[in-house]
C-alpha cells in the first residue's frame, strides 16, 4: 500500500468508473454481473474515502449517452441503483455522508428518482463527506442547460448579458457546488473524459489505470492519491522553487487502517 500524506489530500476526487463489461467478459459472465460487482467497488471506495477524510467524492454512475445502451442493460443498471440506494442508506446516515445528485434525474424511472431524492433530502445537513452521484449526467448537457437558463434570465431583464462571465456561468452549473475536481480517476484503461465534469475538471489532475472498475479498491485509490501528491499544480502560474517545495513528508505520513 503506497504511503499518502493526510495533510494534502485532494479535496474533491471524481471517478469515471469504467470497465464493468470487460471485467464480466473476462470472468465469462454477463455484463450485468460486472455492474453488480461494480457496486461493491463503489461501496469500498466510498468507505475508503470517508475514512481518509476526503471532502467530496463524485462518482460517474450513468452518462446521458449511456441511455443508448440496450434496454435490458439500462434496466439492470436502474435496478442496481435502486438496490444500492436502499442497502446503503443506513451506513450513509450512520457515517454522516451527504448524498447529492447531478444530471438530468427527471429521466430516471420514478422508483430510482424517488429514492435518490429522499436520500438527498435526508442527508442534506450531514457533513461527514459529500458523495455526489452523477446519474444521467453529461458535462455538455449541463453547460447547455445553464446557458439556456442564463439566456432566459437575460430575456426577462433579470441579468445584463454583458455581465455573464465564467463565475456567473459556473454558478448555474449544479456540479460546481461541489467545487473544482482535484483528482480525476478513470479506471478501465481508456484515456478520455467521456463528457464527465467538463467544467469542474478544468485544472484536475488525471490518474488513469487499466484496472477494471470491479477490481478497484483501496490500494489503487492510495496509488492515485500518492500520484496526485507528487504533481506540481501550477494553475497557469510560475511556481517559484520555494513555493513548490514538498511539504514535510515523514512527519505526517500515516497509513489509515484497512477499511
Q: Write out the residues near ligand IPE by the rule CB under 6 A.
A: 16-22, 60-63, 66, 77, 188, 190, 192, 194, 213
Q: Of all residues in this chain, which one has the CB nearest to ligand IPE in the complex? A: 21
Please identify, using beta-carbon distances, which residue of 192 and 231 lies nearer to ligand IPE: 192
Q: With contact defined as beta carbons under 8 Å apart, do 153 and 120 qualify?
A: no
Question: If contact means CB under 5 to 8 A according to the sort of partner, which of Mg ion, ligand IPE, none does residue 61 touch?
Answer: ligand IPE
Please identify, using beta-carbon distances, which residue of 155 and 210 lies nearer to ligand IPE: 210
**Taking CA 165 as the corner, what is the angle to CA 161 and CA 171, rounded to the nearest 5 degrees?**
100
Q: Which of 55, 66, 79, 145 is catalytic?
A: 66
Q: Compute φ and ψ for 135, nearest 5 degrees.
A: -125, 130
Q: How far apart are CA 20 and CA 35, in angstroms?
A: 5
CB of 52 to ligand IPE, least distance (A): 22
Q: How far apart are CA 76 and CA 248, in angstroms?
A: 48
CB of 18 to Mg ion, least distance (A): 4
CB of 188 to Mg ion, least distance (A): 6
Instruction: Give the three cell numbers for residue 137.
Output: 449526467
Burial degree of 28 (CB within 10 A; 0-12, 13-18, 19+): exposed
Q: Which range in 16-24, 61-69, 155-163, 228-236 contacts Mg ion by CB under 5 A?
A: 16-24
55 in active site: no
Please identify, using beta-carbon distances, which residue of 64 and 218 lies nearer to ligand IPE: 64
Q: How far apart are CA 135 and CA 216, in angstroms?
A: 20
Q: Compute φ and ψ for 134, nearest 5 degrees.
A: -95, 105
Q: With contact defined as beta carbons under 8 Å apart, do 173 and 152 qualify?
A: no
21 Cβ contact partners less than 8 Å away, ≥ 6 residues apart: 31, 34
66 in active site: yes
User: If binding is defined by CB under 5 A, does position 60 make contact with Mg ion?
Assistant: no
CB of 37 to Mg ion, least distance (A): 14
CB of 135 to ligand IPE, least distance (A): 9
Please identify, using beta-carbon distances, which residue of 10 and 103 lies nearer to ligand IPE: 103
- CA torsion sign, 173 to 176 to 182 to 187? negative
Instruction: Pick from 18, 37, 64, 88 the residue near Mg ion by CB under 5 A.
Output: 18
Which spans of this chain sit near Mg ion (rule: CB under 5 A)? 18
What amino acid positions are annotated as catalytic residues? Answer: 18, 66
Amino acid at each position: 500500500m503506497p504511503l499518502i500524506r493526510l495533510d494534502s489530500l485532494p479535496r474533491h476526487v471524481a471517478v469515471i468508473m469504467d470497465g464493468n463489461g470487460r471485467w464480466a467478459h473476462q470472468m465469462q459472465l454477463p455484463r450485468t454481473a460486472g455492474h453488480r460487482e461494480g457496486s461493491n467497488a463503489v461501496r469500498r471506495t466510498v468507505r475508503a474515502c470517508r475514512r481518509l477524510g476526503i471532502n467530496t467524492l463524485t462518482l460517474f454512475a450513468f452518462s446521458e449517452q449511456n441511455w443508448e445502451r440496450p434496454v435490458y442493460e439500462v434496466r439492470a443498471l436502474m435496478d442496481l441503483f435502486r438496490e444500492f440506494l436502499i442497502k446503503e442508506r443506513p451506513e450513509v446516515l450512520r457515517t454522516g455522508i451527504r448524498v447529492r445528485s447531478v444530471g438530468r434525474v427527471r429521466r430516471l424511472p420514478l422508483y430510482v428518482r424517488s429514492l435518490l431524492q429522499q436520500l438527498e433530502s435526508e442527508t442534506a445537513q450531514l457533513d461527514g463527506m459529500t458523495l455526489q452521484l452523477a446519474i444521467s449526467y453529461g458535462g455538455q448537457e449541463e453547460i447547455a442547460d445553464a446557458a439556456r437558463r442564463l439566456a432566459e434570465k437575460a430575456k426577462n431583464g433579470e441579468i445584463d448579458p454583458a455581465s455573464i462571465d465564467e463565475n456567473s456561468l459556473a454558478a448555474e452549473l449544479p456540479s460546481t457546488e461541489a467545487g473544482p475536481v482535484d483528482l480525476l480517476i478513470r479506471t478501465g484503461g481508456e484515456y478520455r473524459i467521456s463528457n464527465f465534469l467538463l467544467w469542474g475538471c478544468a485544472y484536475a489532475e488525471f490518474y488513469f489505470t487499466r484496472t477494471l472498475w470491479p477490481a478497484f479498491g483501496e490500494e489503487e485509490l492510495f496509488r492515485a492519491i500518492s500520484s496526485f501528491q507528487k504533481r506540481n499544480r501550477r494553475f497557469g502560474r510560475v511556481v517559484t522553487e520555494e513555493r513548490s517545495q514538498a511539504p514535510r513528508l515523514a512527519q505526517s505520513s500515516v497509513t489509515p487502517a484497512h477499511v
